[in-house]
Amino acid sequence: MNKYKNSTVYQIYVKSFCDSNGDGIGDLNGIRSKLKYIKSLGVDYIWVTPFFCSPMVDNGYDVSDYKNVNPMFGSMADCEAMINEAEKLGIGFMFDMVFNHTSSEHEWFKKALEGDKKYMDYYIFRDEVPEWTASFGGSAWEFVPSLNKWYLHLFDPKQPDLNWENPEVREELKNVVRFWKGKGVKGFRFDVLNLISKPESFNLPSGSAHTFCKDGRHVHEFIRELVTDTGIENLITVGEMASTTLENCIKYTNPENHELSMCFSFHHLKVDYKDGNKWALMPADLKKLRNLFKEWQEEMSINGGWNAVFWCNHDQPRIVSRFGDEGKYWKHSAKMLGTFIHMLRGTPYIFQGEEIGMTNAHFKEISDYKDVEAINYFNIMLENGISERDALKVLSERARDNGRTPMQWNAEKNAGFSDGEAWIKIPENYININVEVEEKDEDSILNYYRKLVKLRKDFAVISDGDIKFIDTENEKVIAYRRTLGNEVLTVICNFSSNSEHVKNIAHNGKVLISNYETNHNFEILRPYETVVVKF
Ligand code: TEU
Ligand code: CA
């Protein structure tokens, strides 16, 4: 039995959440100052993205010291105070462990580059290598002339991959987990955890490095060892699983295997990638979206797996801009999208700003973008003959920076995020889309999210029920049914800006929540309408 069935997690991207000292960069004391707000959402945990020592090539996902706080975010004392103050409010922190790779500035890698054999074996150095591409573009191998060898990096060259086959590496990483657990951290998110076990031989064809490393030969053993040896089996743990399979996610999360409480998968966030290419635009394929959720939700349920369910994180564009509508139906579509996720079987994650309906950034110039991935792919697109205008259009929909603009707290200067100039531009709509405005509006997206979080606590059918998708005979309307004993919950979501006819939806029962106050009709749904009925 998974203990986190009725929990909800709030994700903080520290650099953009709240700046306490006016340097334009969010920090740990900023988080401390907003703990009461987070508590008011009703959530149980906060996943905070990495704030450890880092040269920030990938905004902290390149760690140079796992056991120290990057001074740009605060001190160890601030960190301890943050953990303790949250605990007093009944909120547990989940820290983000980036264990697939380190920064090239990490002591271990520096020693490896000096030719120290012990540390060279912490990484993956080879004399001959296949033609593999890295996630941020370019080759996945970097040549070191002084060693006459290549090293593997699935992401940036400044993020060399660790060699998990080496037991000493595994011990080092366990010590990091033990260290933070000792400070009172209540759970962990593990970055790209299904990429840690690499192939035995690198005599392989060319292609994307991810493809050859995902769900590798020892990944399940390594995870079990990490979790059991550090005594975190009973804490909340979530693995970020890149390009994984359903079968593996069942194994990662079925309690019988003693691996993780839950995992993130991303297939549902690729339904608008043309031919699977993130940098090629296409409207969302709703049929595919529905079928993916149907398959994953139903199979995880039947086989004892557990999902982390989400639309947004710091790597994704904003969901209201993506599968919803920023204009006329901004409020309705944001609420519908929230309902769809929060009524699913799994533990929902809310990414900062999602609860107020924050939108994409609408950056106009390449200099507005800060992410290494966005800048690399802009150049790759230009090299491939795409016009600057078209490349900027792609970035405006796909760049990770869309999810990384500062939290919009109020309509004052810098959206209340900072007294100084923010490290990245703030969307102009902060005047209307912000926490302060929505606190005052009973019908706001913010107050609606609070209700969603509470419903999961109040109704066991939401936290614990089985799930079956309903065939509405209209691909624009996705509906599912949750069942627990003789309690039945029907969730209906119209993903379109038109009225839509649907079939097969039973309509007796009580409306638990909806984004339209009255006149619910179960044959015609209004634009972006959602209704949750219980009987
Ligand atoms: O992301 C891993 C990952 O594979 C993606 O979500 C990735 O950002 C996307 O596919 C690129 O198009 C994790 C972190 O969440 C991300 O911020 C880091 O950049 C990455 O790992 C490397 O640590
Ligand atoms: Ca700061």
Digit-coded pLDDT (tens) for 120-168: 999 999 999 999 999 999 999 999 999 999 999 999 999 999 999 999 9
From CA 240, how far away is CA 263, in angstroms rounded?
A: 6
Domain identity same for 93 and 240:
yes
Using most ligand atoms within 8 A of CB, pick from 135, 351, 377 the residue to mutate for ligand 1.
135
Residue with CA closest to ligand 1 atom 1: 192
Residue nearest to atom 12 of ligand 1 (CA): 135
Active-site annotation, residues = 191, 240
User: Is residue 126 assigned to a domain?
Assistant: no
What is the average per-residue pLDDT within 101-117? 98
What domain range is 286 assigned to?
9-100+167-368+406-454
Q: Which residues surround ligand 2, an ion (CB under 5 A)?
A: 19, 21, 23, 25, 27
Using the atom order of ligand 1, give the atom closest to the CA of residue 154: 22
* Residues 185 and 293 placed together within one structural domain of the fold: yes
pLDDT at 458: 97
Task: Determine the Cα–Cα distance for residues 358 and 352; give it in Å rounded to an integer.
Answer: 9
Whose CA is closest to 533, among 516, 509, 514, 505? 509
Distance CA 103, CA 60 (A): 9
Domain boundary among 428, 454, 480: 454
Rg (C-alpha) for the chain, rounded Å, is 23
- Domain assignment of residue 181, yes or no: yes
Nearest residue (by CA) to ligand 1, atom 23, is: 61
pLDDT attached to residue 282: 97
Local structure of 123: helix, strand or coil: strand
Alpha carbon of 308 to ligand 1 centroid (Å): 16
> 315 CA distance to ligand 1 centroid (A)?
6
The residue among 343, 322, 346 whose CA lies nearest residue 261 is: 346
- As given in the structure block, the two tokens for residue 40 are 């008011």
Atom 8 of ligand 1, residue of closest alpha carbon? 315
Beta-sheet strands, E only, within 386-476: 466-470
Residue 387 has pLDDT above 70, yes or no: yes
Confidence band of 119 (pLDDT split at 50, 70, 90)? very high
CA dist 499 → 215, 337, 402 (Å): 42, 17, 29
Question: Is pLDDT of 500 > 50?
Answer: yes
Spatial separation of the C-alpha atoms in residues 79 and 497, rounded to whole Å: 45
Q: Is 305 part of a structural domain of the chain?
A: yes
Close Cβ partners of 197 (under 8 Å, ≥ 6 residues apart)? 164, 165, 213, 216, 217, 218, 219, 222
- Residue 141 in any domain: the answer is no
Instruction: State the sign of the Cα–Cα–Cα–Cα dihedral 155, 159, 164, 170.
Output: negative
What pLDDT does residue 3 have?
81
Q: First-to-last CA distance in the chain?
A: 25
- The H or E element spanning position 46 is strand 45-48
User: What pLDDT is attached to residue 1?
Assistant: 47
Domain boundary among 454, 475, 493: 454
Q: What is the mean pLDDT of residues 490-503?
A: 97
Picking from 103, 91, 59, 134, the residue whose alpha carbon sits closest to that of residue 313 is 59
Closest by CA position to 139, among listed 208, 195, 242: 208
Model confidence pLDDT, tens digit, residues 30-85 = 999 999 999 999 999 999 999 999 999 999 999 999 999 999 999 999 999 999 99
Residue 117 counted as domain residue: no
Q: Which pair of tokens denotes residue 233? A: 């089996």
Same domain, 236 and 332: yes
Residues 528 and 415 in one domain: no
Question: How many structural domains compose the chain?
Answer: 2
Q: What ligand has the least distance to the C-alpha of 74?
A: 2
CA 222/CA 167 separation, integer angstroms:
10
Determine which of 398-412, 476-490, 502-516 has the lowest per-residue pLDDT on average.
Answer: 502-516
Average pLDDT of the chain is: 97
**Residue 27 lies inside a defined structural domain of this protein:** yes
Whether residue 504 is contained in a domain is answered as yes
How much distance in Å is there from the Cα of 154 to the middle of ligand 2?
30
Closest ligand to C-alpha of residue 73 is 2
Q: Which residues contact 354 (CB under 8 A, 6 or more apart)?
A: 311, 312, 318, 319, 338, 449
At 365, the pLDDT band (50, 70, 90 cuts) reads: very high
Flag whether pLDDT at 378 surpasses 80: yes
Residue 18 lies in a domain: yes
pLDDT for residue 519: 87
Looking at the structure, do residues 446 and 470 belong to the same domain, yes or no?
A: no
Q: Which atom in ligand 1 lies closest to the alpha carbon of residue 101?
A: 23
Are 520 and 426 contained in the same domain? Answer: no
pLDDT of residue 358: 99
Per-residue confidence band for 227, with pLDDT thresholds at 50, 70 and 90? very high
Segment 335-364 mean pLDDT:
98
Section 420-444 average pLDDT: 98
Report the CATH number at residue 209.
3.20.20.80
Protein residues whose CB sits closer than 6 Å to any atom of ligand 1:
58, 61, 98, 135, 155, 191-192, 240, 242, 278, 314-315, 373
Pocket test for ligand 1, best of 191, 265, 380 (most atoms within 8 A of CB): 191
- In total, the chain counts a number of residues equal to 535
User: For residue 248, is pLDDT > 90?
Assistant: yes
CATH assignment at residue 476:
2.60.40.1180
